[in-house]
Amino acid sequence: MTPGHGSPTSPPTRRGIMFVISSPSGAGKSALSRLLLQDDPEIRLSISVTTRPRRPSEVHGVHYHFIDVPTFHQMRERGDLLEWAEVHGNFYATPRQPVEQALGEGRDILFDIDVQGTLQLYERMREDVVSVFILPPSIAELQSRLKRRAEDADEVILRRLRTAETEIARWQDYDFVLINDDLERCFRDLKQVLVAERLKRHRQPHLPGLTEALLKDLRAVLS
């Protein structure tokens, strides 16, 4: 059992971090998310629902739960969604139950969601959210990454570039901004953000007990 996940002998459980990564499409957030999930066993991906068609490389239940539009509306009306947005003409949303369960168990959760979704999480759970915005080094590079990915039709790519205008303009809503020029370097920076956030005082509930014990021992040594 890892620290923070709670057992009779481990430190008290902290609440998990909601680690949000957003970027214009093609800037590299899926690549960065993949690296983070492989590297860090303590963070899990929040698997969104979407009404967008599945890409050839995607697996239902791994990358997304692919659902139809009536199902999306049913989930929304039942209050099953923590946040939702219409992005590039499709619906995307975060199912509520897995997130609330993971946070209560002290697990960190990674969200690959857009700016609209991030703002909704701020409204509901600002204390738990750490947000990172990924910028491409240039628009030419963004365009060429979208083309290289070769999983979307030309008109879909054009639509994503148009949406990028409003997305890039929201960079100031985020706690951290990284420029994804070199993927390895950007990934190192992303990891450092997560490590530093885990060390924040309010996320270490064992500190009052630990410092109290240290002071008690110190007084005993000095007396």
Question: What does the binding site for ligand 5GP look like in residue numbers (CB under 6 A)?
Answer: 22, 25, 48, 52, 83, 85, 87-88, 92-94, 112-114, 116-117
Minimum CB distance to ligand 5GP, residue 59 (Å): 13
178 touches, from ligand 5GP, ligand ADP, none (C-beta below 5 to 8 Å by class)? none
Minimum CB distance to ligand ADP, residue 109 (Å): 17
Beginning with the edge strand found earlier in the chain, give each strand of the sheet holding 18-22 in spatial order: 43-45, 108-112, 18-22, 129-135, 176-179
CA distance 33 to 43: 10
Crossing angle, helix 183-198 and helix 29-39, to 10 degrees? 60
108 touches, from ligand 5GP, ligand ADP, none (C-beta below 5 to 8 Å by class)? none
- Given phi > 0 = left and psi -120 to 50 = alpha, else beta, which region is 207? alpha
For residues 86 and 28, is the Cβ–Cβ distance under 8 A?
no
CA distance 99 to 94: 8
Check residue 62 and report its DSSP letter: T
- Per-residue HEC secondary structure of 131-189 comes to EEEEECCCHHHHHHHHHHHCCCCHHHHHHHHHHHHHHHCCHHHCCEEEECCCHHHHHHH
Nearer to ligand 5GP, 78 or 202 (CB): 78
Does position 63 interact with ligand ADP (CB under 6 A)? The reply is no
Nearer to ligand ADP, 149 or 170 (CB): 149
136 touches, from ligand ADP, ligand 5GP, none (C-beta below 5 to 8 Å by class)? none
Provide the 10 A C-beta neighbour count for residue 125.
16
**Of positions 30, 71, 120, 143, contacts ligand ADP by CB under 6 A:** 30
Minimum CB distance to ligand 5GP, residue 171 (Å): 14
87 touches, from ligand ADP, ligand 5GP, none (C-beta below 5 to 8 Å by class)? ligand 5GP
Does position 71 interact with ligand ADP (CB under 6 A)? The reply is no
Minimum CB distance to ligand ADP, residue 174 (Å): 14
Provide the 10 A C-beta neighbour count for residue 160.
19
How many residues of this chain interact with ligand ADP, rule: CB under 6 A?
14
Minimum CB distance to ligand ADP, residue 116 (Å): 16
Residues of this chain that interact with ligand ADP (CB under 6 A) are 23, 25-31, 145, 148-149, 180, 182-183
